[in-house]
């Protein structure tokens, strides 16, 4: 039986429903971030860790600490902010202030409802950026360089990094290509920085290993545990 509701009663109930949705939103998104800290299996996990640490740490379990979420409204989609610390054990933690896009997707018979999280953008400068610039050696566009990680710079996660400075002649999409030995940990993990910021990898539709860059200097960090191969960096064709 349908029950009629006075307009004044609806006005009272509506804020309560929005408040409950907000509570559910925050708890479910918090669970997503906790999952991303514990595993390294999906693009959400990798992109969240990259934004927090400033590079792509090797596979390991983090503990998520001091998590704080800030939503500008009760909207089911938009941009929000998170501050947190990823604790990777003695001597290794990453703290950061990151914005991200969120959107609620209704469930149906074949799929439960869920919150989509993507487009992580660090709002402060990751401490590793200054170290990347300090360790960087010049790399000519479209040239190939031999990579020897056994002699490379040691990062806090015990992987090793090789950093390069590349002059970008014109705005466009640029990509990294690796050739040769993969190593037991697979291909090296690459991050590109420009103007002190971590650049977003891919086009948002599944492509990876390419970045939209502006004219001017860019910095590339490749990290690995054991791979020795060659690298080239050039325009996406």
What pLDDT, in 10s, does the model give residues 106-115? 888 888 888 8
Of 120-129, 167-176, 180-189, where does mean pLDDT reach its minimum? 180-189
- Give the pLDDT confidence score for residue 216 in this predicted structure: 97
DSSP string, 61-113: --EEEEEEEE-SSS-SEEEEEEEEEEE-STT-EEEEEEEEEEEEE--BTTB--
Mean pLDDT confidence for 207-216: 89
The CATH code of the domain at 128-235 is: 2.60.120.380
Q: Where are the domains of the chain?
A: 7-122, 128-235
Q: Among 167, 160, 168, which Cα is nearest to 135's?
A: 160
Angle between helices 43-53 and 7-38 (to 10 degrees): 80
Q: Is the pLDDT of residue 135 over 60?
A: yes
Backbone angles phi, psi at 41, to 5 degrees: -115, -25
Length of the chain: 237
Mean pLDDT, the chain, as a whole number? 83
pLDDT tens digits for range 68-102 = 999 998 899 999 999 999 998 888 999 999 999 99
Backbone angles phi, psi at 16, to 5 degrees: -65, -45
Residue pair 99/80 in contact by the 8 Å Cβ criterion: yes
């Amino acid at each position: 039986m349908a029950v009629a509701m006075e307009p004044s009663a609806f006005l009272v109930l509506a804020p309560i429903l929005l408040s409950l949705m907000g509570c559910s939103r925050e708890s479910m998104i918090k669970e997503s971030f906790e999952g991303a800290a514990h595993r390294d299996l999906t693009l959400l996990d990798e992109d969240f860790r990259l934004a927090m640490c400033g590079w792509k740490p090797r596979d390991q379990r983090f503990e998520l600490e001091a998590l704080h979420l800030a939503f500008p409204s009760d909207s089911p989609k938009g941009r929000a902010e998170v501050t947190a610390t990823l604790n990777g054990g003695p001597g290794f933690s990453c703290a950061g202030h990151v914005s991200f896009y969120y959107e609620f997707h209704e469930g149906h018979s074949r799929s439960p409802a869920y919150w989509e999280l993507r487009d992580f953008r660090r709002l402060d400068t990751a401490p590793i950026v200054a170290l990347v610039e300090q360790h960087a050696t010049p790399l000519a566009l479209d040239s190939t360089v031999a990579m020897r990680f056994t002699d490379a710079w040691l990062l806090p996660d015990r992987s090793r990094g090789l950093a390069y400075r590349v002059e970008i002649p014109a705005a466009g999409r640029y990509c990294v290509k690796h050739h040769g030995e993969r190593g037991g940990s697979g291909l090296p993990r690459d991050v590109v920085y420009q103007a002190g910021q971590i650049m977003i990898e891919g086009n948002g539709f599944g492509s990876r290993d390419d970045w939209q860059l502006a004219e001017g200097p860019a910095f590339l960090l490749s990290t690995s545990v054991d791979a020795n191969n060659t690298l080239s960096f050039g325009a996406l064709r």
